[in-house]
Amino acid sequence: MKLFESYRLKGLKLKNRIVMPPMCMYHATQDGFPTLFHLCHYATRALGGAGLIIVESTAVLPEGRISDHDLGIWNESQAHELKRLADACHEYGAKAALQISHAGRKSRLLSGKLYAPSAICYGKNYRIPYEMTQEDISHVVSAFGEAARRASEAGFDALEIHAAHGYLLHEFLSPKTNHRSDRYGGSLENRTRFLREVLEAVRKDWPVECPVLLRVSARDCYGCTDTSSEVLEIVNQVKSLIDLVHVSSGGLVLSEKKDDDAFQISLSARLREKCGLPTVAVGMFTDENAAEDILASGKADLVVIGRELLHNPNWPVDVAVRHNIPGYVPDGYGRAFVPLPLS
């Protein structure tokens, strides 16, 4: 199965094409530190056979958290504790990436300054953000660069920049949330400027042999007008600064509608073809045959198994056993399988 073929991207070599995506757990301490929950959570998915684990959204600044219980990497002490998560993934056979982010206007913190490209509120239960000044923008750009340095020192194999789901970087990219008239607003080139500056800062403090992933929303929100042509252009503008695109959807504005997940798969295929970059496909996969078809047909290089890995941390092991793929049953667990798995 292609799902269990190894994959290499720069200095990163994965044992399979199965990716656990970043999913907020809301179990961090109020000052952004991981807890025993995180260590158990990520180590279990590594033991269960995932090839790449992307640790949940981790804020580059205190005010950039989505909630009071999100992870942070704005100081050295946090990075020291995050190293335990990367080490646990490595111990049990997985590679570890860290997603770094700033929540922007979607932060649900009850105190502290709320930033956004423009003073446009996300919804009735959210505070009105301040429009960022040039000083604010420079501060956040520097924070992303420092976060990249800390993530490297903590031993992460890859870094993902979160420019999707309506958080700060995505807010700058879309004219729905960016009404600025300065060099960060208006034209697509201007709206992409903040992302370019963030990626340039990250590249200065991140090892050249380690991949930088970019997460994008294929469509601004569920039910929104198709913005995929702009997404393709955005990726083309920054392609020299990234190594892989993680294709998701939605989150910019509140919406009750739901798009077919196939839209994300089709854009993954278009990005892969038009931008010449490898992609990760997202699509609520629970069936290995659907994931296998996407890889075999060249629509993506890697596939995300998200909610199913929350439900069943051993999904890769189960699939490997069903398809007689050796090497996935952890030592000591063989008695759970009849007949015994191949060694």
Longest dimension (CA), the chain: 67
Average pLDDT on 129-157 reads 98
- Region 7-25: mean pLDDT is 98
In this structure, what token pair is assigned to residue 85? 């998560």
pLDDT band of 110, cuts 50, 70, 90:
confident
SS3 content of the chain, % helix, strand, coil (to 5): 40, 15, 45
**Residue of 241, 190, 240, 251 lying closest to 216 (CA atoms):** 251
Place of tokens 């923008």: 137
Identify which of 287, 329, 316, 320 has the alpha carbon closest to the alpha carbon of residue 53: 316
Integer CA distances (angstroms), 274 to 44, 193, 228, 232, in order: 37, 21, 12, 8
Cβ(56)–Cβ(100) below 8 Å:
no
Report the mean per-residue pLDDT for the chain.
94
Q: Which residues are within 8 A (CB) of 95 and not within 5 positions of it... i.e. 6 or more apart?
A: 12, 13, 14, 51, 52, 53, 89, 157, 158
- Average pLDDT, stretch 231-250? 96
Better-scored residue on pLDDT, 285 or 12: 12
Query: Is the Cβ–Cβ distance between 45 and 11 less than 8 Å?
Result: no
Give backbone dihedrals phi and psi of 61, rounded to 5 degrees, phi first: -145, 155
Strands 12-14 and 7-9 come out as antiparallel
CB 61 within 8 Å of CB 112: no
State the pLDDT at residue 104.
98
Tell which wins on pLDDT, 300 or 335: 300
**pTM for this model (two decimals):** 0.96
Structural domains in the chain, CATH included, are 2-336 (3.20.20.70)
| Residue 227 pLDDT | 84
> What's the pLDDT score for residue 257?
64
The encoded tokens of residue 20 equal 């656990």
Statement: residue 189 has pLDDT above 80: yes
Share of the chain above pLDDT 70, in %: 97
Quote the CA–CA distance of 78 and 45 in Å, as a whole number: 22
DSSP codes, 199-238: HHHHHHTS-TTS-EEEEEESSSSTTS---HHHHHHHHHHH
